[in-house]
Amino acid sequence: MPTVLITGAASGIGRDTARLFAQAGWQCVLVDYNAQALQQLGQSLPRPASAEHVLRCTDLTDAAQLASLGEGLPALDALLNNAGMSDASNTPLAEQSPQQAARLLALNLGAPAAVVDACGSVLKPGARIVNVSSGAGLHAIPWRGLYSPSKAGLIAQSRALAQVRPEWCVTVLCPGFVKTELVAGLIEAGRINPERAVAKIPLGRMASPDEMAQALFFLASAGAAPLSGQVLAVNGGSSIYGGSQAFAPATLEVLPLDMPLQLEVLGGAVEPWQAVAPKLESSGPHYGACLDLSPLHCEGSLLQAVHEAAIRFANRHAQQASLTLLLPPERAGRWQDAGDGAAARMLVSTLACEWGARALRINALEMPPQATPQSMHALLRYVCGPTAQYVTGQTLTCRAIGAGQAR
């Protein structure tokens, strides 16, 4: 039975994530300082087969409580640093003293490192550590105190941890705008204008908390191993958009996240990749996806290979489908050719912006040298499939791992 520790589990994204893990049979160690909400959650979860969930009422900004967090815990397969806070005071930064922001920094940047330190001895070899940052860690969001700086710091800290502990898989989730109960309430009360909120999101909608839970569930699995050191932005494409035009709210309903995946593999030796998704027996409702290998094998311009793959896909899919491209690792070569790879990656992002209104997604995976298809299957299943319906415009750089490491 796998075991996960989730901080900030008592509400929002953390609570939905805890439910998903418990439903999947994981033993959960749930950490939060809201004792009442934690108890309620613990009682509502399905119980694991041969153990109890563990509830830890801990203030993650308190050094003494943090230091003893690891005591008596079961061995952990995954650790999710999800707890975080924003600054709602509306006080300009130049009017804030460092002391004022100390609690936010302690929770958003100090606690994730302290939790890993405290749990180091119970983390299994090959454990997955996921730090929940934010789109605010990728682009500055003003009037929220040190929220953006703290989340940018968390991304850098995660990359550094991935470097020094290559035996772990350390990743970052950057959620976009999530329609938690709190946000839904603010919309209902007229305090958030939903049209303005989605204007910079190519997919034209907010995420459901379940989509974040699914992303965390994938990142906590052994299949995420090729992504160690990477940021997974689950934000409908908001972080790749640089235009000034407002996107219209989505008109297409999100497809069920558990819809069967129908995957077509094109552009090379397809056979070792076909096992990503079993062939569907029936022609019932399915989520259409294409995995195109041609950029990986192209000998000429990568930009042109990506463009051709995109045209092929757009001719076959009108809406609600995904295109995933495999790219070669960045090659050292003549400086005159150095723009080709960057242009190809920016083309992926640009296409995502143009296709968003039709919920057509496009993402690319930069393969490491000597990658085995098997080691990429779980990652591809996630990126191509319906649980990643809020992931678009991303190029993820993968690291090489042993065949047995990612299942």
**Burial zone of 323 (CB within 10 Å; 0-12 exposed, 13-18 middle, 19+ buried):** buried
**Burial zone of 172 (CB within 10 Å; 0-12 exposed, 13-18 middle, 19+ buried):** buried
Per CB under 6 A, does 214 bind ligand NAI? no
Nearer to ligand NAI, 71 or 330 (CB): 71
- x-or-dash pattern for ligand NAI, window 84-103, by CB under 6 A? xx------------------
Nearer to ligand NAI, 239 or 324 (CB): 239
Query: Of 3, 27, 82, 158, which lies in the binding site for ligand NAI, with binding defined by CB under 6 A?
Result: 82
HEC string for 285-343: CCEEEEEECHHHHCCCCHHHHHHHHHHHHHHHCCCCEEEEEEECCCCCCCHHHCHHHHH
CB of 298 to ligand NAI, least distance (A): 36
Query: Of 30, 114, 170, 178, which lies in the binding site for ligand NAI, with binding defined by CB under 6 A?
Result: 178
Per CB under 6 A, does 202 bind ligand NAI? no
Query: Of 39, 54, 59, 93, which lies in the binding site for ligand NAI, with binding defined by CB under 6 A?
Result: 59
- Burial per residue of 98-127, b for 16 or more beta-carbon CB atoms within 10 angstroms, e otherwise: eeebeebbbbbbbbbbbbbebbeebbeeeb
- Cβ neighbours around 310 below 10 Å, total: 21
Residues 17, 10 contacting (CB under 8 angstroms): no
CB of 108 to ligand NAI, least distance (A): 7
Please report where in the chains the tokens 């958009």 appear, as a residue. Answer: 241
- The closest of 152, 189, 195, 190 to 174, measured between CA atoms, is 152
CB of 228 to ligand NAI, least distance (A): 20
* 230-289 residues near ligand NAI, rule: CB under 6 A: none
Identify the helix (H) or strand (E) that includes residue 231: strand 231-234
- Which span sits near ligand NAI by CB under 6 A: 55-63, 213-221, 314-322, 338-346? 55-63
Please report where in the chains the tokens 């997955």 appear, as a residue. Answer: 128
Per CB under 6 A, does 69 bind ligand NAI? no
Q: Which of 147, 241, 287, 382 is catalytic?
A: 147
- x-or-dash pattern for ligand NAI, window 100-129, by CB under 6 A? -------x----------------------
- x-or-dash pattern for ligand NAI, window 148-177, by CB under 6 A? ---------------------------x-x
Nearer to ligand NAI, 51 or 67 (CB): 67
Nearer to ligand NAI, 131 or 320 (CB): 131
**β-strand partners of 292:** 266, 325
Residues 6+ apart with CB under 8 A from 311: none
- Cβ neighbours around 94 below 10 Å, total: 5
What whole-number distance in Å separates Cα of residue 78 and Cα of residue 2?
8
- Answer yes or no: 382 catalytic: no
Nearer to ligand NAI, 184 or 259 (CB): 184
Conformational region of residue 8, where left means phi above 0, alpha means psi within -120 to 50, and beta covers everything else: left
Nearer to ligand NAI, 132 or 290 (CB): 132
* 7-46 residues near ligand NAI, rule: CB under 6 A: 8, 10-14, 32-34
Phi first, then psi: give them for residue 202, nearest 5 degrees. Answer: -50, -35
CB of 139 to ligand NAI, least distance (A): 12
What whole-number distance in Å separates Cα of residue 146 and Cα of residue 86?
8
Nearer to ligand NAI, 110 or 393 (CB): 110
What whole-number distance in Å separates Cα of residue 389 and Cα of residue 397?
20
Which stretches of the chain bind ligand NAI, using CB under 6 A? 8, 10-14, 32-34, 58-61, 82-85, 107, 132, 134, 175, 177-178, 180
Query: Mind telling me the catalytic residues?
Result: 147
